[in-house]
Every structure is written in structure tokens, then in C-alpha cells.
Amino acid sequence: MATQGKGQKLGPALLISTLIVMLLASYILPYTEFNEPTIDDNYTIKLVAEDLGGPSCLEWVNSSILIICDRDGGRLISLEFDYNTTDWSWNVSQHSTWLDGFDRPHGVHIAADFIMVSEAGRLTRINHSGLDTDWMKEVKQNERWAMIDGISIGNHQPNAINELVNGTLVWHVGSTCNVCDQDDERNAALLWVNASTGEHGVLASGVRNSYDGVWVEGIGYLFSDNGRDWEGKHPLEEVNLLVAGADYGWPEDDPDHPIPTGTIGPVATWTAHSSLNGMTKRPMNSTFPGNEHTVYATVFGSWNAVVPVGHEIVQIDFEENSTNPQGWQGEVTTFASNLTTPLPIAFHPSGNYLFYGILTGGGTLHLITANDNLGN
């Protein structure tokens, strides 16, 4: 009887321990490489490169060379591809460190005679002689200038650096905290940057942590924003349309006032705390689903949820909508799921291939191909 009593006492304890292990596993598994990606049968996902550190940006130089920011290694990686028409595969013919010595790079912009690298707290410029020269070798030797420095970092840091159609650069700078007033107005903002002089200012405020943005012809500049944590289902992840000088609500927003008076609301939303980050415009010639205003985005995933969310790529189809104050509304659907921790994303210039990077597990690069186009 004594043995039976001990077993009865162990029973509930064992059950509770098992439930705890299962709960922890449900949180951890989506962040591991053991997940099997899920996508429509018309598409194929393939691993094309490994050992990339912490991929945080993707930028095509041309149709065969891809630059990858390695956040963890403080470098820019160059991958050169060969396309094998025999088995319709992408093969990496060269995998090398192009530039190093950066502090957690999160973005790179390649221009006609310079490049810009977004780092933790600074924006760095390196000149070159022109894209029709051997400029990639030249950049390795040329001097670096901190065009902007002294940006505070905390919970977040500067992210993407992109170009608007007028030539002005837009720099995505995160907040230093979850919810607080910023000591420096340059945090929690999109900054405009003069690439020649380094002169800069606030283009949009109230943007807690915008990771990336894209120009969509006919609409304007669309950008992602990650809202505050620890407030249940508030706020939803946002895609916003840039209006110069506008305030996008953080940190004044709350569950009862998701769009504070005098601020601008989103043109598309997604699951709260799921961390919608990297964005890429669907090319007009693309065989991927969508319309002329479609954007694809990565959803990294978040611990700040009772049930794990994210770990996916979403398709956002924008249509004109008179009920939205900005005249546009995006319909968001899951395109691929169970992707671990997708962060940067970019269409190949041909429009037939979609590349994305996984931040964890040593850093990997994956390719999504429409099965009908494997031979194209």
C-alpha cells in the first residue's frame, strides 16, 4: 500500500512535468531546423547555401551575384550562382566574405558610385568608380566614412537602408525600448538621408521597429512595423504607407486606442507579435501569384505569444480601398509556413525565384521555385 501511495503521488507530478516539457517544446520547435516547410504543391523550397552566420539582408548585384548581410559575423557575404539547366538547380560557385569589420549589419544599398551599409548605431558609406568597373574589388580597398553615427541602440537598432524614387535614402531606425519616450528623435523613426552629405532628419515618427520597406509603383513606399510586446492581441503587425512628416502612433497607442488621434493607421495588418519584417516587391514579370501591387514579406515569429506565431512568408495583395484613409488596403495570406526564422527576402531579378534567409541554425539561404518554371 505504501508503494501504491508513492506512485499515486508521482502520477500528477509526472503529468505536470510532461505537460511543461511539451509546452516548452511547442515554443522551441518553431525556432529549430527540424521543422518541415509547408507550401502549395505547385512550389518547391530548396536549401541553396549554409554557414551564413546571421542573415539579415539580401541584395542582388546582378542576376548571378547576391550580397548577404551577416549580422553575427559583422560582414557582407558574396554568393555567386551558376544555374544548372541539366537538373534545374541553383549551385553556389563562389561563397566568400566580401567585406567585414561591421557592427551587426542589417542593410546594404548599392548605388551607381557608392554603397551604404546600415550598422548598429551608424550608417557607413564606401565609394567606388561605377557599376561598369571592377567595383566589388575596389570597394574592398576603399576608405569607409561614417555618414551618420551616434544612433542609440537598445531593444532594436537601425535596419534597412533603401532608396526612394527621388534619390533620397530612407533609413529604418528602431526604438531603444518596448514602450517609452525616446531621448533621440532619430530612434523609432524612418530617417531621410542625403547620401552625398550625410545630412538627415525624421521622415516619419512613431515607428517602433520598422525592419524593411519597398517602393510600389502607383502606391508609394510601404514599410513594416513591429508593435509593442506584452499587451495581449494589441497591436497587430503593420504594413504602413509612408507620408512624409506623419506620426504612426507609437508609443501613444494602446488596446483602446490602436490609432491615436492625429496619427496614421496601417494599410495592412497581420497576427499580433508575429514580427513581420523583410519585404520584397513582386516583379511585374513574376510567375508567382499576385497583382501589380503585390508584396511578399517574412514573418519571423515571436516568443511573446501563448501559441507560437509567425515562421512564415506572407503574400500581401494591395487594392484601392476608399474606406481606408490612405486609399489602399492589403489582403494578407500565408504563402509558406513552418520556415523556422525567416528574415531577409528578395525576388531574383528574373521574377521566377524567391530567396529568403534563415537567421538561426548557422544561417541558411533557401529558394522557392514554381514547379512549372523549373526549366526557365
> How far apart are alpha carbons 90 and 239 in whole angstroms?
32
- What is the reported pLDDT for 59? 98
Using CA atoms in the order 312, 317, 323, 326, what is the torsion angle rounded to 10 degrees? 90
What is the per-residue pLDDT for 229? Answer: 87
Residue count (the chain): 376
Q: How far apart are CA 304 and CA 310, in angstroms?
A: 11
What pLDDT digit, counting tens, does each position of 323-338 carry?
A: 999 999 999 999 999 9
CATH of domain 38-373: 2.120.10.30
> Hey, where are the domains in the chain?
1-31, 38-373
Structure confidence at residue 21 (pLDDT) = 47
Any bridge partners for residue 58, and if so which? 68
End-to-end CA distance of the chain: give it in Å, rounded: 74
Per-residue model confidence (pLDDT) at position 234: 87
From the CB of residue 206, how many other CB atoms can be counted at a distance below 10 Å?
21
The parts of the chain modelled with pLDDT lower than 70 are 1-34, 85-88, 303-307, 373-376
Q: pTM to 2 decimals? A: 0.90
| Contact by Cβ (8 Å): 223, 279 | yes
What the block records as the C-alpha cell of 232 is 495581449
> In this structure, is the dihedral angle defined by the CA atoms of residues 149, 152, 154 and 155, taken in order, positive or negative?
negative
Question: Which residues have a Cβ under 8 Å from the Cβ of 8 and sit 6 or more positions away?
Answer: none
Alpha-carbon distances of 356 from 88, 223, 340, rounded to whole Å: 19, 18, 11
How many other CB atoms are there within 10 angstroms of residue 181's CB atom? 9
d(CA 39, CA 44): 8
Span 40-57, pLDDT tens digits: 999 999 999 999 999 999
